[in-house]
Amino acid sequence: MRRLYSEWVEPPQSGQGLGEWRNAILAAAAGSPTPDWRAKVEWLEQLGFTCTVAATWLAAGLPDPDALERLQWLRQRGYPMERQAAIRAAFKGNPTALDYLLSEGVSWLSTEQVEDVSQVETVPYGGNLAVLQALHARGWISSQAARRAVFRAALEVGHVHVAAWCVEALGCSVVPLLGCALIKASLEVLTWLADQQGIRKWHSKWLTRAADSGCVAAVEWLVDRGCPMPTDGSPYFKAAFNGDLAMLRCLRRLGCPWGGRDSPNADLIPGWFRSRDPAVLQWLREEGCDAHWFKVLESGNSGSR
């Protein structure tokens, strides 16, 4: 590092020739994977590099407990701790670093925000429960909107352990979200809803969601428990759009209706299916699919056959 600096930077005593790269270089030193990262930072400071929030941002993204050690050291040297570092720690799954930043007075919200939803609702996608627990302990999942957003996000991606915590610790109820089209209809989510939340009645749209997810076991599970099959052919439509032959065969075996005139968005179908797997279209032809949505699709692709 010293050699490169002496060869490429003029004048070597001040580093002014680096311009806008100065913050990035200091941040890279603070986040360096080598054991001498402290020496690098101290040397750059001696050359006139000033404390930058970029250094704490990069350090916050390192694995725990390395992130905590560096953040504490940088804090002692006057480096600023800002919310972007807390957000980075959260999204990197570093609850210890996140809790330290929050304990130092770093705000999870920007000054313009009045609800704690916009950032916290994306945390569950990583499935790191400890991060959510750290935010909750510091009061950053306080509003009803934030709790609902966290719960919904956990169900969207199928993180049952996070969803269960939302019910137990945040007091969330699954019933208002049963109509949410984004809830992942995986077998794990479905069994949790049935066994832990007592859900026994399933709307036909759940079967469409399961077909869209590609989980054959989830579709079979729903049918075994009396879930009514959609009459509009939407499960086939979703599976065909995804190029999922295994799901199409499953739906056919279970006796799911092809669908009639009430197919969704028929006028957009040819454009949606452009460049889709021809094997799917061939299978639908061979199976005798007579749904309106498939007829529209056939007419839109007749020139390519």
CATH number of the domain bearing residue 300: 1.25.40
- Distance in angstroms (rounded) separating the CA atoms of residues 63 and 80: 20
| Domain termination site, one of 52, 69, 89 | 89
The answer to whether residue 165 is domain-embedded is no
The answer to whether residue 105 is domain-embedded is no
The answer to whether residue 34 is domain-embedded is yes
Q: Which tens digits make up the pLDDT trace of 137-150?
A: 988 888 888 898 89
| Domain termination site, one of 56, 89, 122 | 89
Q: Which tens digits make up the pLDDT trace of 203-246?
A: 999 999 999 999 999 999 999 999 999 998 999 988 988 889 99
The answer to whether residue 12 is domain-embedded is yes
| Structural domain range at position 276 | 202-305
The confidence score (pLDDT) of residue 172 equals 93
Helix 292-301 vs helix 278-286: crossing angle, to nearest 10 = 130
Confidence of residue 304 (pLDDT cuts 50, 70, 90): very low
pTM: 0.77
| Domain termination site, one of 50, 66, 89 | 89
For residues 94 and 128, the answer to whether their CB atoms sit within 8 Å is no
- Distance in angstroms (rounded) separating the CA atoms of residues 44 and 252: 67
CA atoms within 13 A on the CB side of 132: 27
The answer to whether residue 127 is domain-embedded is no
The answer to whether residue 192 is domain-embedded is no
Cα pseudo-dihedral 151, 156, 160, 162, rounded to 10: -40
The confidence score (pLDDT) of residue 111 equals 47
The answer to whether residue 180 is domain-embedded is no
Cα radius of gyration rounded to whole Å, the chain: 27
Give Cβ neighbours of residue 239 (< 8 Å, ≥ 6 apart): 211, 212, 214, 247, 248, 251
- What is the number of structural domains in the chain? 2
